[in-house]
A and B are shown apart, each in its own frame.
Chain A
Amino acid sequence: MSKGKFGVHGGQYIPETLMNAVIELEEAYNKYKNDPEFNAELEKLNREYTGRPSLLYYAEHMTKDLGGAKIYLKREDLNHTGSHKINNVIGQMLLAKRMGKTRVIAETGAGQHGVATATVAALMGMECEIYMGETDTERQALNVYRMELLGAKVHPVTSGTKTLKDAVNETLREWTARIEDTHYVLGSVMGPHPFPTIVRDFQSVISKEIKSQILEKEGRLPDVVLACVGGGSNAMGAFYNFIEDKDVRLIGCEAAGRGVDTGLTAATIAKGTLGIFHGMKSYFCQDEFGQIAPVYSISAGLDYPGIGPEHAHLHDIGRAEYVPVTDDEAVDAFEYLSRIEGIIPAIESAHAVAYAKKLAPTLGKDKIMVINISGRGDKDVAAIARYRGKDIHE
């Protein structure tokens, strides 16, 4: 019987070789998720290693400049390793240790998940290998060196489109070859059950904190929560504890690349159709014969042809909205936030900032908006310079 369904989405569409591994993971997660000792260790690492809770910052200049809703930034960029990815990695790594695994493997797009995995592997003394599309190793060269510095082995993936999708393919292949001692630290709310649920739960600390922080500052819930969406882990984390609060609008910002009507896009909700890939039923950019489409975005972290199954479900039932944001809009927002608040966001997060810039002026000054700044933009500086025609070397 199919497990891990969100409406029609989700499931476990993987080779038989991996089935016992995901069953074992599900059993371990069910055993430890309510275990006081496990949770105490997780909370301690979140607090003392990652630096949680992350700040909820009132973006006063941006608010005044846009002249509409009051804007808060959830500062996941301030986490150790520079993004929200570490929230999930610490959780999965604690599980992996309890399952007796000594080696972890992971895919990475922009490199943020790879860096987080390499970091926690170093902390916990685990062997670590990262799979990254060759194209991404070039546009995020700094992160490759960072992972190596942390003791991880980075494998450039040369198959297919040489980006995030292919990195996931290769990590799945590696997992089927070596399961006994190896845990696959999947980096987003995607893949076969139980990954979408586990990753969501570890990332939901974001919305848990937003909720208590905004109640403390404003005495009420926000009107809008915005986050960028590739696979969708930072968005799922930022949305999760607001799903039952029907008055809170949840907006996921997809990477439209050069535009949803060009061939160069990664906007899955805008352009995708129902399919089954990477272990899950969800929406994918693909052709009429189910061949996965090559996708494009300036952001390596959003350059993925699918979306997590729970997002697909939130879209189906109309609980969350998904909007496309182009490269141009994201780069403008990247520069805008840098200048107006002195905060350089990841180019991924800049997609959410871009849509917030459009939306905020249309909302009244009595409205409250929270943008999840999922990561910091240091890694993107050279690429943005190149986008603007400046040839600088990292």
Chain B
Amino acid sequence: MLQRLQDIGGRIFMNKLSKAFEKGKAFIPFVTAGDPDLETTEKVILAMAEVGADLIEIGIPFSDPVAEGLVIQKADERALASGTTTDKIFAMVKSIRTKTDIPLAFMTYINPIFVYGSERFIKNSKECGIDALIVPDLPFEEKDELSEICKANDVRLISLVAPTSHERITTIAKEAEGFVYVVSSLGVTGVRSEIKTDIGEMVKLIKQAKDIPCAVGFGISTPEQAANMAKLSDGAIVGSAVVRIIEKYGKDSVMPVADYVKEMADAVHNV
């Protein structure tokens, strides 16, 4: 297994991100690392991989997550309170990588990366088997902060587009790598009863600028919503709805999360 996953040198992993979109529509769940503790997070991630997730976003908790709604804010608080640090998360991902070859992305804010040392952070990410990095407070204008280091280390720095991006979509998409994260709604992360943005139009603009997969996130919680978003794009990203289950079940989250992710992944794969 390890032999197959690893390149020459024994430590460097091939980037697996494109695998997420190879079989059709992708289901992409998110989990905050260390909520309620890293042992549970590892089990949850492996279970999500097992039941059909195509790419998993691992949130590195931050004290002040300005793009998050209350559900993920609370998860970050729980994770930090349980003693989770960036180094411990690297160790967890390293362990996960010996057990699955599912594509993995880190989602965190620019400060934990920058203060850790951007180069050191990205090198460590690569070495433990991370394929992509999503940084919600690093817009196009500031991506030079990480883009060269990511390129040098074969980690995809994911670009986000929002309902307010308008003419910026083309500029952003042209330089996007891996996939484009389409933010479905205004505001912060969190479950929404309805998504009003014209996702189809945003995806069209992205694809006109670059042939790249687009995955939609923010506000998705039901299989119907996920399927609808997957119809309009290449995949659906779900965070708060997963985290809500973990908030409810704590260390016993593995089964309920697996059940939920299976239902969601099936809905997306059947599109």
Q: Interface on A for B, CB 8 Å cutoff?
A: 1-3, 11-21, 159-160, 165-166, 169, 172-173, 176-179, 273-279, 281, 284, 286, 288-292
- Chain A contacts for B109, CB-based, 8 A: 290
Report Cα–Cα, A350/B138, bound state, in Å: 38
A20 engages B166 (CB within 8 Å):
yes
Q: Are B141 and A172 in contact (CB under 8 A)?
A: no
28 contacts between A and B (CB under 8 A): A1-B141, A12-B139, A15-B66, A16-B136, A16-B162, A17-B163, A17-B186, A19-B141, A20-B165, A20-B168, A160-B63, A165-B64, A173-B187, A177-B186, A177-B187, A177-B188, A178-B186, A179-B186, A273-B115, A274-B114, A274-B115, A277-B64, A284-B111, A289-B87, A290-B114, A290-B115, A290-B116, A292-B111
Q: How far is the CA of A279 from the CA of B136 in the complex (A)?
A: 11
Task: Report the separation of the CA atoms of residues A15 and B188 in the bound assembly, to the nearest whole angstrom.
Answer: 10
Within 8 A of A (CB), among B182-233: 183, 186-188
Q: Would you give the shortest CB distance from B91 to chain A, in whole angstroms? A: 14
Q: Which residues of A contact B110 (CB under 8 A)?
A: 13, 276
- Answer yes or no: B142 CB below 8 A from chain A CBs: yes
A15 touches B162 (CB 8 A): yes
Q: Closest Cβ of chain A: how far from B112's Cβ, in Å?
A: 4
Q: In the complex, A290 Cα to B138 Cα: how many Å? A: 15
- Which residues of the other chain, A, contact B164 by a CB distance below 8 angstroms? 16-21, 179
- Whether B165 pairs with A19 at a CB distance below 8 angstroms is yes
- Residues of chain B from 11 to 30 with CB closer than 8 A to chain A in the complex: none
Task: Report B109-155 residues with CB < 8 Å from chain A CB.
Answer: 109-116, 136-142, 144-145
Q: A135 to nearest B CB, angstroms? A: 16
Chain B, range 149-181, C-beta contacts under 8 Å to A: 160-166, 168, 172
Q: A15-B162, A16-B136, A18-B164 are in contact. List 13 more A-B contacts (CB 8 A).
A: A1-B144, A12-B142, A16-B164, A17-B164, A19-B139, A19-B140, A177-B188, A275-B114, A277-B64, A278-B66, A286-B115, A290-B62, A291-B80
Asked if A17 contacts B183 (CB within 8 A), the reply is yes
Residue of A nearest to B160 (CB): A16
Residues of B within 8 A of A274 (CB): 114-115
B116 touches A15 (CB 8 A): no
CB-based contact B86/A15 at 8 Å: no
Say yes or no for B240: interface residue by CB 8 A criterion.
no
**B85 — which chain A residues lie within 8 A by C-beta?**
289
A276 touches B139 (CB 8 A): no
B253 within 8 A of A: no
- Give the CA-CA distance A274 to B115 in the complex, in Å: 7
Residue-wise interface mask of B (62-99) relative to A, using a CB-CB cutoff of 8 A (1 in contact, 0 not) = 11101101100100000010000111000000000000
* Contacting residues, chain A, for B141 (C-beta < 8 A): 1-3, 11-12, 19
Q: Are A16 and B111 interface neighbours, CB within 8 A? A: no
Q: Which chain B positions have C-beta within 8 A of A2?
A: 141-142, 144
> Contact: B86 with A16, CB < 8 Å?
no
Q: Is the CB of B144 within 8 A of A160?
A: no
Q: How far is the CB of B216 from chain A (nearest CB, A)?
A: 14
Give the shortest distance, in Å, between B195 (CB) and chain A (any CB). 14
* Cα distance A136–B188 in the bound complex, in angstroms: 24
How far is it, in angstroms, between the C-alpha of A15 and the C-alpha of B168 when the chains are bound? 13
In the bound assembly, the distance between CA atoms of A282 and B133 in angstroms comes to: 23
Q: Which residues of A contact B69 (CB under 8 A)?
A: 173
In the complex, A2 Cα to B87 Cα: how many Å? 29
Shortest C-beta distance, B176 to chain A (Å), equals 12
Task: State the CA gap A19–B62 with chains docked (Å).
Answer: 22
- Taking a contact as CB atoms under 8 Å apart, the answer to whether B64 and A176 are in contact is no
Nearest CB of A to B38, in Å: 14
Contact check, A290 vs B163: say whether CB atoms are below 8 A apart: no
Considering the chains assembled together, what is the distance between the CA atoms of A67 and B164 in angstroms?
60
Which residues of chain B are near A169, meaning CB under 8 Å? 64, 66
- A19 x B168 contact (CB < 8 A): yes
Complex: A296 Cα to B2 Cα, angstroms: 49
A11 and B70 alpha carbons, distance in the complex (Å) = 27
- On whether the beta carbons of B63 and A176 are closer than 8 Å, the reply is no
A78 to B6 Cα, complex, angstroms: 69
Cα distance, A286 to B62, chains bound together (Å): 11
Chain B residues within an 8 Å CB radius of A18: 164
In the assembled complex, how far is the CB of residue B225 from the closest CB belonging to chain A, in whole angstroms? 19
The 4 A-B pairs at the shortest CB distance, nearest first, are namely A290-B115, A177-B187, A17-B162, A290-B112
Contact of B163 with A289 in the complex, beta carbons under 8 Å: no
Q: Which residues of A contact B161 (CB under 8 A)?
A: 16
* Across-interface contacts of A273 in B (CB, < 8 A): 115
- Which residues of B are found within 8 Å of A281, using beta-carbon distances? 114
What distance in Å separates the Cβ of B188 from its nearest Cβ neighbour in chain A?
5
Q: Which residues of B contact A1 (CB under 8 A)?
A: 141, 144
Q: Which of A12, A177, A291, A292 has the most CB of B within 10 A?
A: A291
CB distance B166 to A288 under 8 Å? Answer: no
CA distance A279 to B137 in the complex (A): 8
Kindly list chain B residues whose C-beta atoms are within 8 Å of the C-beta of A11. 141-142
